Structure 1
């Protein structure tokens, strides 16, 4: 897609900030939806035009007029959130934003989803995009992402091509989502490798996700889901350990049996059903994301989007080391 005006939700978030950097570097004009002056300052500093509004505001269609595409990156990604607010944001927010874009005459919409739409807590091995949604999701986050995908696909038409991208474990520079919590857990002594952490995982460097978004602007079909990965799966311990070292933090040796965590998760489920003000160390959603193999087949994206990872694990870690060094 030649230089165009694009509408972005979630622009002040981790993925959104990196998308603005890439899209502006490619010559696009980006309008970014923001809810606060702080968010507006962030996206403006990166080169985007802040647009004040809310995902659930039906009036945002006016702000999308003249845009060639919508990139919907906003989401409540809290894996411990069990409140209706997460469903409202992830499902109804997606419905409203896509409906507004279609009303505004936008022709392409790219929805960023998550492999959590498929996870249950059981291993997921080289899953393809047609893998069935689980009858019982691991948590509200996964259930909401699955429903948001259904909403997105249902709204796709020949004149409004909605494409869903499913990354797995987005990582890289400027990570303000998972990495701060991991660093805090390691430094406080609360982090342990589950069964040694040697099970495989797919991952998606944030620059690779941005590359996939740029590919999807002009390639791929509406009503389709695409898995986005860095390449071949790697051991979970290698992926996380390398990032910890890049931050100057030595990975711990402590381990915890997976079977013990399953007991804790059962207790957490019980606490929630009884509405007790107690929480286990790990939720079922967190377990499904980090305690078992989750690997994705990205051949559809490589074929239809002509997506190729721009950043390898080794290159991403080197970039992370440089960023940490520059920040002192």
Structure 2
């Protein structure tokens, strides 16, 4: 019997790659999309699209007939002005989606959390056993993802079959928005990055993240969290790889953190209330104060998470951005 899956967030970066992989592997897909969502990432796909919202009270009716739920949708923003939307969509929305799944008789759910919910280890590489206290998580996005993960854990306590995956920073094609990582690539390609911050992240090919979701469905243990990550790289190392791929020159000088921190504070606290759209998120700069490095060996060992070279993901991301005319490379 063909498994029918219900996917939230299918129009987004991870969700679009997951949806394609599900179709390739023979799953039937029903995708929940907001009425005003761009459908570019779902063009020409053999899926059923239903319009709706994460918080609607009768969401369970749209899940009827599905056996599996992938709850990928989330509101991502580092702007402090988006605080209410973050909690409304990520926390209340996750609680409502999980409740709807129970009502609809969904047999197993894979919930897409984030390494943001785990926090950081003061410069150390951390795994799924680490948890920064809520008050130490920087910004409302991280806090909202932590609280959303608590909704998933509570559902497990009440008998629901939920597996949690925590992607790090995905790279690759179909980064339509783009994500913060995609924005780094675009700013590099547009020669808008003369300097860099001394920080670092864990990166992974977005297609490996998609595969990790299906592996979590097939092999994941109920209530467990799995970091979907690959390689820890400093921002300078990532930019050097982009330079090797494109032939463009990587920035050679770092900038002290207090400079963007000051600019971001002025942007959000002074200019934004006066009507000027902010350009640098204060929480984003605060997050960059220390590397966000993770150990994904549990997912590799227990799920078989693939570890595609980051260079491959970067090449494909660059090619996709160029093909989609986000940037023109001379």
Structure 1-normalised TM-score?
0.84
- SS of 1:202 mapped into structure 2: strand
Encode CA deviations 1:146-201: one digit per residue, 9 max, x unaligned: 00000111111585311111111111112232355335644374653113xxx543
The answer to whether the 8 Å contact 1:23/1:30 transfers is yes
CA separation of 1:86/1:38 partners in 2, compared to 1, >3 Å: closer, same or farther?
closer
2:13 paired residue number: 14
1:316 paired residue number: 313
CA separation of 1:326/1:35 partners in 2, compared to 1, >3 Å: closer, same or farther?
closer
Query: Equivalences for 1:165-176 in 2 at 5 Å?
Result: 165-176=165-176
1:217 paired residue number: 217
Query: 1:130: how far off?
Result: 2.4
Structure 2 counterpart of 1:194, from 180, 193, 197: 197
Structure 2 residue 304 is matched with structure 1 residue 302: no
Query: Equivalences for 1:36-185 in 2 at 5 Å?
Result: 36=35, 39=38, 42-43=41-42, 45-83=44-82, 84-119=84-119, 123-134=122-133, 135-156=135-156, 160-176=160-176, 177=178, 178=180, 181-182=183-184, 185=187
The answer to whether the 8 Å contact 2:128/2:225 transfers is yes
What is the rounded CA distance, in whole Å, between the counterparts of 1:22 and 1:170 in structure 2?
A: 16
- Which runs of no fewer than 5 residues in structure 2 stay unpaired? 326-330
The answer to whether the 8 Å contact 2:8/2:31 transfers is yes
2:254 paired residue number: 255
- SS of 1:127 mapped into structure 2: coil
- SS of 1:145 mapped into structure 2: helix
Query: 1:69: how far off?
Result: 1.1
- Which runs of no fewer than 5 residues in structure 1 stay unpaired? none
Encode CA deviations 1:286-318: one digit per residue, 9 max, x unaligned: 1354442111122222333x2232521132234
2:291 paired residue number: 293
Query: 1:206: how far off?
Result: 0.5
Bigger CA drift: 217-226 or 275-284?
275-284
What is the rounded CA distance, in whole Å, between the counterparts of 2:108 and 2:264 in structure 1?
A: 40
Encode CA deviations 1:6-65: one digit per residue, 9 max, x unaligned: 000011111111111111001111100012265457535233210111100121111112
CA separation of 1:325/1:275 partners in 2, compared to 1, >3 Å: closer, same or farther?
closer
CA separation of 1:50/1:326 partners in 2, compared to 1, >3 Å: closer, same or farther?
same
Give the alignment's Cα RMSD to 1 decimal.
3.1
What is the rounded CA distance, in whole Å, between the counterparts of 2:20 and 2:211 in structure 1?
A: 12
Encode CA deviations 1:231-287: one digit per residue, 9 max, x unaligned: x42232222443476567543334211344455566678669x97768886444313
Bigger CA drift: 39-48 or 171-180?
39-48
Structure 2-normalised TM-score?
0.84
CA separation of 1:322/1:296 partners in 2, compared to 1, >3 Å: closer, same or farther?
same
CA separation of 1:287/1:119 partners in 2, compared to 1, >3 Å: closer, same or farther?
farther
CA separation of 1:59/1:39 partners in 2, compared to 1, >3 Å: closer, same or farther?
farther
Encode CA deviations 1:60-88: one digit per residue, 9 max, x unaligned: 11111221211011111112243311110
The answer to whether the 8 Å contact 1:40/1:50 transfers is no
